[in-house]
Amino acid sequence: MNMSTPATAGHDDPAAGDVTVRPRRIRQISLGAAAVILAINVYAGLTLSGTTSNGGKLFPADRWAVIGVGVLFTGLTLLPWRLRVQADVERVRVRNLLGDVTVPWQVVERVRFDRKAVWASLDLVNGDVVPLLSVQVIDHADAVAAVRRLRTLLAAARAMDADGAGSVAPPAEGGPAVEGAAPAAGDRSTSS
């Protein structure tokens, strides 16, 4: 059972071993920025009148266009609300700005959060790196706690594999190590 709420960086359920992490501060910042962008564009659209600098007349459609651009930029500003990491003892699901990736713990070498890094990442055994945009340095102690919980799940998954209880098979030779990811440029496997 997952007990995470949108207002926090993430909670875990020790009984189930689940972890959900959402960025906290970047979501607050994006919400404030979205409100300002929308307010400015709505005000500009409603008060737009007169002529252009080269003598052209402004029409009501121009007003709606300015408001529409504001709505578009507001939507883009709210993209950080999409960020999330969900993990259990079998896999970690990462939702970044433009894509989702599911990685079995068997292909994760380590959970990394370097001192000068802006966000954490997963280093995979094939050399790939999966950024965890929802675990950001701006969240300070919440980000460190999230990395510790993810490392605990990685250790639990390795312990399960050592006991033979793991149920996720490693990826096929030449295939992508991550669900939803394309093979690397050098991985050109053909089916026979």
Neighbours of 112 (CB within 10 A): 14
Residues 75 and 91 in one domain: no
What amino acid is encoded at 154 in this protein? L
Picking from 63, 79, 95, the residue at the C-terminal end of a domain is: 79
Which domain, by its residues, includes 90? 83-162
Between residues 57 and 177, the one the model is more confident about = 57
Neighbours of 159 (CB within 10 A): 12
Give tens-digit pLDDT for 132-150. Answer: 999 999 999 999 999 999 9
Of 20, 16, 33, give the one whose Cα is nearest residue 92. 20
Q: What are the E-state strand segments in 39-191?
A: 84-87, 91-95, 100-104, 108-112, 119-124, 129-136
- pLDDT of residue 173 exceeding 70, the answer is no
Residues 126 and 72 in one domain: no
* Torsion sign over Cα 6, 10, 11, 13: positive
Residues 115 and 149 in one domain: yes
Structural domain tally of the chain? 2
Model confidence, pTM:
0.70
